[in-house]
Structure 1
Amino acid sequence: MKAHFQTDQGQVRTHNEDSGGVFFNRTGQLLAIVADGMGGHQAGDVASQMTISFVGDRWEQTDCFDSSEETEAWLSDILQETNQELLDHARENEACAGMGTTVVATVCTADFVAVSHVGDSRCYKLDMDGFTQITEDHSLVNELVRSGQISKDDAEHHPRKNVLLKALGTDDEIAADTQTIKWEIDSKLLLCSDGLTNKLADDELSSFLKKDQDIETICSDMIELANDRGGEDNISLIIVHHDTAREEGEA
């Protein structure tokens, strides 16, 4: 199983509020996570970096996960714990008041992927059945689409497109959406912040993932295109390629 994380400040922002990483637990199981921070005085980067560090460190201390149920429970619990860490930090540090972050995290085993997210950072899957968006944005515009008030095309240009309904670090209780999906050999996952999805359409994302290139090159090419189209936001992504049946040491 291969994975690669890449992030870019973009063409407009003065600093990068995105964070992410790929981590392995004691038995070699993989966690991929992307966070897109928000908040004044650079507090967004504090929120996203704290999230990645906290979740990654905890993952590295775990042992093998055999069932989807225990994996989903771990993800849901760790994001609630992370939420509390962010709230406590903001209350103790005035410069971080109001900070928050989106997050999308996947635990990838040989047979299944557990996905958990809060906000509008996304997870997609490419397999024999095609290209699918796994997560549903926790955003005002997505709720308007789901309720039939606007179309998907309208959503792309809606003036309140960036309004989130959920984020880590903004409420005492946060309910992450968590699910498990199956995957097979040669499937790929894409985790990304909205700096990528605001610039590349789904069919373009799919075309990139289908390329017979190493995942590092694909990540770089996707970021380059997003920047060529304006790069107004930070751009972050992880590609996970299920290229082997089972990692050494994985149960």
Structure 2
Amino acid sequence: MRLSVAGCSALGGRETNQDSWYADDRLITVADGVGGAPAGDVASRLAVESTAASGPDMPPEETANRANAAVRAYASTDPATHGMATTLVLAVLCGDGTVRGAHVGDSVTLVQTDRVEFLGSPHTLGAELVAAGHLTAEEGARHPNRRALVRAVGMDATVQADTWERPAVVGERYLLCSDGLTDALDDDVFLAALAGLRAADPRQCVETLVRLACEAGARDNVTAVVGDVVIGDPAWRR
């Protein structure tokens, strides 16, 4: 088995793109530089480069910690980037027949078969207050600081990534995206678009989703990466 992959990114409503992504036949990843902090583009690039360098055989949580160390090490040498941070989400097709992933922040991972399942919950103040029972879902959606990140790569000396593991099943589609995509599209529109693109190849899928988000007036950068589990030996076994 291998991943058939594609990625697409657009400025959306921003003047610069602070999203970064990478995809090969075993690993896909997206990072979204934290707005309001300096050098978000640098942070996301470093996180993605570190993730790609760690490779698919590294446990996802360790990959996230290496990315965190890379971002913080760079920031310690360049005052202009002090305090920079980024989200990070990744999925890996492992040699043992599983797909494993991790995320830090509010970028999204989902898997699509005959239905769509979101893997993990965002590390935002609103989501964590709801999860802890301090707010109802409706209250959390209205909280003035609901989108504030409580975890991000580069934010602290160490980072705790949420991880997941699933059997690798041929035909399943993994979609990673920055919140610029999901924020721009209503849930019903997003899910309907995914359903309509189920038979599309990865390139058509990501390009269509990014286009729809931009047409809907995306205020943030929009990035999507797809990895379809397909039959065939990946390059690392050839």
TM-score bin (small chain): 0.7 to 0.9
Q: What CA distance in whole angstroms lies between the structure 1 residues aligned with 2:81 and 2:236?
A: 41
Partner of residue 2, structure 1: 4
Report the Cα offset of residue 237 of structure 1: 0.9
Counterparts of 1:98-109 in structure 2, within 5 Å, are 98-109=83-94
Identity of matched residues, %: 28
> TM-score normalized by structure 2?
0.88
1:194 partner amino acid: D
Call closer, same or farther: CA 1:90–1:208 in 2, change over 3 Å. same
Partner of residue 113, structure 2: 127
- Assess if the C-alpha contact under 8 Å between 1:185 and 1:245 holds in 2: no
Q: Does residue 217 of structure 1 match 2:200?
A: no
> TM-score normalized by structure 1?
0.84
Call closer, same or farther: CA 1:56–1:46 in 2, change over 3 Å. same
Q: What CA distance in whole angstroms lies between the structure 1 residues aligned with 2:8 and 2:106?
A: 18
Q: What CA distance in whole angstroms lies between the structure 1 residues aligned with 2:20 and 2:204?
A: 19
Q: What CA distance in whole angstroms lies between the structure 1 residues aligned with 2:181 and 2:139?
A: 19
Unaligned runs of 5+ in 1: 25-29, 66-70
Partner of residue 53, structure 2: 57
Report the Cα offset of residue 164 of structure 1: 0.4
Partner of residue 27, structure 1: none
Q: Does residue 190 of structure 1 match 2:164?
A: no
Q: What CA distance in whole angstroms lies between the structure 2 residues aligned with 1:156 and 1:243?
A: 38
Report the Cα offset of residue 246 of structure 1: 4.7
1:231 partner amino acid: A
Unaligned runs of 5+ in 2: none
Call closer, same or farther: CA 1:242–1:23 in 2, change over 3 Å. closer
Q: What CA distance in whole angstroms lies between the structure 2 residues aligned with 1:99 and 1:185?
A: 38
Secondary structure at 1:238 match in 2: strand
Q: Does residue 240 of structure 1 match 2:236?
A: no
2:6 partner amino acid: H
Counterparts of 1:75-224 in structure 2, within 5 Å, are 75-109=60-94, 111-128=97-114, 130-156=115-141, 158-210=143-195, 211=197, 212-224=199-211
Q: 1:68-113: per-residue Cα shift (whole Å, max 9, x none)?
A: xxx5xx2222221221121121121111011000000110247321
Report the Cα offset of residue 153 of structure 1: 4.9
Call closer, same or farther: CA 1:109–1:162 in 2, change over 3 Å. same
